[in-house]
Amino acid sequence: MPGTAILGRRRGPERVPARSELVVAIAGNPNVGKSTLFNQLTGATVDTAHYPGITVEAVAARVEWGAQQVEIIDLPGIYGFGARAKDERLAWETLLARRPHVVVAVADATNLARSLYVTLQLLDLGFPVIVALNLTDEARRREVIVDEQGLQAALGVPVVSTVALRGEGLERVRRAILTAGQTRRPRGEAYSPAIEERLAVLEGFGQVCEIGELAALVEHARCRLPQLPLHDDRTALRLAAERHARAGRIVAAVAGRSREGAGDRLWRFVTRPATGVPVLVAVLAAVFAVLFFVGEWLSVLLTTTWEAGPAPLLRRLVQEMVGAGAFADTLLWGLDGGIYAALAVGIPYIMTFYLIMALLEDSGYVNAVAYLSDRLMRHVGLQGRAVIPLIAAAGCNVPAIMGARVLTSRRERLIASTLIALMPCSARTAVIVGAVSLYVGWGWALAVYGVIFAVGLSAGLGLNRLLPGQPGALVMEMFPLRRPSPWLVLRKTWARLRDFVWVAAPIIIGGSLLLGALYETGIVWHFSRPLAPLVEGWLGLPAVAGLTLLFAILRKELALQLLIAFAVVVYGSAATNLNAFMSDHQLVVYALVSCLSVPCASTIAVLGREIGWRATFLLAVAILGVALLVGGVAHRLLPLV
């Protein structure tokens, strides 16, 4: 048995009362399909993509297989014991704290040697492992056939070939987990304590000894074996070298050599500076073009459809049920105005954006972006890896801030979180495109992006100078491009859009109802009066627009949607043209302020958790100040243009 039991020895029989629930962890290198396997095994929809570091937390789900309760934990990717970033540390902490009954080590069949390193380490650390040999379809395309039986013999643990994406081999994985779980193997003979302690040191636990109970183990070793160097790096290097060599020998025995595929050639095309930089510029331009034109087309399509049938019907229905008057008007605010707004702004732009994001992520093109932009990112104190959460932030800031965990220092996470909070997310894009591009012109929309970009850039440059320290160094595994699976892209887009529809739509309708009630009863003017000096005097906006900006803290696109709902009610749905009561300049100022001002409630919540409440508070106040400043200045400068 290859497993020693560093962990096993400390796990006395009394500590594990035959748990009825089977705890299974999915571990392995980044980007080998752990989350895809997790989704398939549990029916969950955890985010997946073709780049490393998308899973940054340990996600657990409970399933029932026959009579057996199973808890499955999806872990962030790891390369070996040791952690540079928070997500990797979290993976080891979870493994050591939860001590799963079965660890499914997911291996990449196209790059088996890489995957076997961490598999061997898991085995050496005494984890009960089964190997899921994933991406075997991709391997076959590259004419790599892995001898499953041979690998099983070499490792001494069950090996199952899978194509997690299409659910191939799932049933066998499930059976292997259950079998491994039933034979919960006796915590065999441990090495003598002295050897175990040495092994703990060699594996580098000294470096990461805040992880779990290993701190105690290493401390113990320090007391008992004072002559043992706690950071014996030469020996650790030798151990790493020998383990790599062992992985290499196993691969040579059980797998053929990989042949270059079309993805590799395309990858070279997009990373060579001479071709890669123009491609990057073209891709960015295409993203914006698609967003503007497809988004607008969808918006018109959806709203005309709504106006053609459901809207008049709804209005008649309300009139018949509650008659005319303030109550009916309030209802129409929420239902007619709210739904119209969601169809005009939320769904078309957000869906288009999610679709583009899914394509970029699943093709692996974001790897190339991280690689090409590293040098530029250093100016704002970040490394190329930070580009991925920043791109994700253009979708939604919340997962992006969590994605910043892949960065190695608090300094970087702080800068990245700030830039993410300033990045126009899809909701803010909806405001920019829905208000400015649609009514004022796309050139102005670009100008708004330009201003926001300049604010973000200055924030990055400033923080890089103010905060002590240096940007971290880029070390990131790269993957050749892959053709994204259309089904997976659609499923991912839908999963994200569904969150928008189920979470955001009720807020939009509820917000519209509330604003409607305030408006119809005239209370709205009591609220907007205190804001008037700021909103009317400083920003030059209608008072009611200021009120919608306040609501925007719930969801960013709510600001514009409430404004549209307002227009629908006051001027009738034929006159949804915002120009009816706001000038071009006012719309630009409005878009600027609503995009820059305090991040939405969910972003604030996740910021507080990731960078601390004090930093979050300072950040929110600073951003609000900048928003008001930029808005006020724009109000004064725009007439001069």
Partner 1 sequence: MVRRSESTEEYLEAMFKLSRTPEGITVGRLASELGVAPSSVSQMMRRLVAAGLASRDIDGHVTLTRRGRREGAVLVRRHRLSERFLVDVLALPWDKVHEEACRMEHALSPEVEARLAATLGNPTACPHGYAIPDENGEIAEDVARPLADLQAGEGGVISCVDEAEPELLRYLSSLGLLPDTSVTVESVAPFGGPQLVRVGSSQYALGREVAARVYVRS
Interface with partner 1 (CB under 8 A): 79-82, 84, 110-111, 113-114, 117-118, 204, 207, 227-234, 236-237, 240-241, 244, 248, 258, 268, 271-273, 276-277, 367, 370-372, 374-376, 383-384, 473-480
DSSP state of 59: E
Comparing CB distances to partner 1, the nearer of 190 and 478 is 478
State which amino acid sits at residue 118: V
Comparing CB distances to partner 1, the nearer of 84 and 166 is 84
Comparing CB distances to partner 1, the nearer of 52 and 403 is 52
Residue 89 Cβ vs partner 1, minimum distance, rounded to whole Å: 11
Comparing CB distances to partner 1, the nearer of 51 and 551 is 51
Comparing CB distances to partner 1, the nearer of 115 and 429 is 115
Residue 446 Cβ vs partner 1, minimum distance, rounded to whole Å: 25
| Buried/exposed code over 117-148 (b: 16+ C-beta within 10 A; e: otherwise) | bbbbbbbbbbbbbbbbbbbbebbeebebebeb
Residue 128 Cβ vs partner 1, minimum distance, rounded to whole Å: 22
- Alpha carbon 520 to chain centroid, angstroms: 41
| Buried/exposed code over 359-387 (b: 16+ C-beta within 10 A; e: otherwise) | bbbbbbbbbbbbbbbbeebbebbbbbbbb
Residue 87 Cβ vs partner 1, minimum distance, rounded to whole Å: 13
The long-range contacts involving 382-387, CB below 8 angstroms and separated by at least 24 positions, are: 382/407, 382/412, 382/415, 382/416, 382/419, 382/460, 382/471, 383/407, 383/412, 383/471, 383/472, 383/473, 383/474, 384/474, 384/476, 385/53, 385/474, 385/476, 386/412, 386/416, 386/419
Instruction: Report how far residue 53's alpha carbon sits from residue 37's, in angstroms, rounded to the nearest whole number.
Output: 16
List residues bridging with 71 in a β-sheet: 23, 62
- Alpha carbon 177 to chain centroid, angstroms: 29
Comparing CB distances to partner 1, the nearer of 384 and 631 is 384
Residue 388 Cβ vs partner 1, minimum distance, rounded to whole Å: 12
Nearest to 58, CA basis, from 22, 85, 98, 20: 98
Residue 25 Cβ vs partner 1, minimum distance, rounded to whole Å: 19
Comparing CB distances to partner 1, the nearer of 407 and 488 is 407
Residue 97 Cβ vs partner 1, minimum distance, rounded to whole Å: 21
- Pair 602, 398: CB distance under 8 Å: yes
Residue 59 Cβ vs partner 1, minimum distance, rounded to whole Å: 23
Comparing CB distances to partner 1, the nearer of 470 and 577 is 470
List residues bridging with 104 in a β-sheet: 26, 130
DSSP state of 43: -
245: left (phi over 0), alpha (psi -120 to 50) or beta: alpha
Instruction: Report how far residue 477's alpha carbon sits from residue 134's, in angstroms, rounded to the nearest whole number.
Output: 18
Q: For residue 399, give both structure tokens.
A: 């997962």
Q: For residue 485, give both structure tokens.
A: 């699976």
Residue 384 Cβ vs partner 1, minimum distance, rounded to whole Å: 6
Comparing CB distances to partner 1, the nearer of 411 and 585 is 411
